[in-house]
Amino acid sequence: MQVFHTISGLRDSLSGHRIQGQTIGFVPTMGNLHDGHLALINQAKQSNDIVVCSIFVNALQFGLNEDWDKYPRTYDSDCEKLRSMGCDYLFFPDDKEMYPNGLDTQSRVICPTMTDVLCGASRPGHFEGVTTVVSKLFNIVQPDEAIFGIKDYQQLAVIRRMAEDLCMPVKITSAPIHRETDGLAMSSRNSYITPEERPKVTVLKQVLEQIASQIEAGEQDFSALESEAKAVLGNQGFKVDYVTISNSKTLQPAAIDDPDITVLGAMFTESARLIDNISLKKK
């Protein structure tokens, strides 16, 4: 695996593969890699000749009082994991390389839909940071395909909309949620969970699955289902950010006759914010 810290170096190396007609798959990350990330790398390898991973803890998508400064940075172990998966290139820039003119004057990419609800409502400016850095990374790597996990469902939907709106020649591919043995969705922030909370956090997945099964059984009072789920999470001692039954494409509150529905939830533990989702097709 070759590691590049500069945009010019990575571009020069990748240009040779394009001349040879090889396809490039891309997995953008913030590092602290776990098996979920490695599954994305493996998926990229299955459909592309060359795989590029990036590691960049993007300050632009962190809000005030969020965890940018303490976000786990595990470069050496990340490199070992990527090498073991056969990743071809790692792009590991610093802040100056990605934002040479500083964050305050950085041009922004704004998606006007789907970004002020759910995670966007509780993290103002977050998705502006995501779409800006992802668009920059797409311009740097110029991949044929980019793979994102479904765990970050809203992020996936926003990036798909951005790529469509801006006519980006990148295929946006989703990958299934990778879970711990007890069902908790894998996340770099899971390391924040205290030992006392850890046995209880799977309640988030459980309440979302319960909502999905009730909808499939014919329940149509979505508001009541959401309220019941929030009560369960609260009774387990967690602060609820949201539990929402949404249209899978628009992320607006789902209508009874919507054929594709996604149930999304977010909650706070003592030191972590956890998200999860489950999608279903109504018959």
Q: What is the CATH number of domain 2-175?
A: 3.40.50.620
Question: Which residue is listed with tokens 């290139």?
Answer: 89
**Across 201-218, average pLDDT:** 97
CA atoms of 93 and 88, how far apart (whole Å): 16
Residue 186 pLDDT more than 90? yes
**Across 179-208, average pLDDT:** 94
Helices in 166-247 by DSSP H: which ranges?
A: 203-216, 222-235
The answer to whether 187 and 251 have CB atoms below 8 angstroms apart is no
Q: How many CA atoms lie within 13 A of 243 on its CB side?
A: 28
Residue 66 pLDDT more than 80? no
Question: Which residue is listed with tokens 């879970």?
Answer: 179
* pLDDT tens per residue across span 38-53: 999 999 999 999 999 9
Q: Can you state the percent helix, strand and coil of the chain, rounding each to 5?
A: 40, 20, 40
Q: Where in the chain is the domain with CATH 3.30.1300.10?
A: 188-277
Q: Where in the chain is the domain with CATH 3.40.50.620?
A: 2-175
CATH superfamily of the 188-277 domain: Pantoate-beta-alanine ligase, C-terminal domain (3.30.1300.10)
What is the model's pLDDT at position 82?
A: 98
Active site residues: 37
Least confident of 67-76, 83-92, 101-110: 67-76
Model confidence at 69, pLDDT cuts 50, 70, 90, reads confident
Model confidence at 246, pLDDT cuts 50, 70, 90, reads very high
What is the model's pLDDT at position 126?
A: 94
Q: Provide the Cα torsion 249, 107, 89, 70; round to 10°.
A: -80
Model confidence at 283, pLDDT cuts 50, 70, 90, reads low
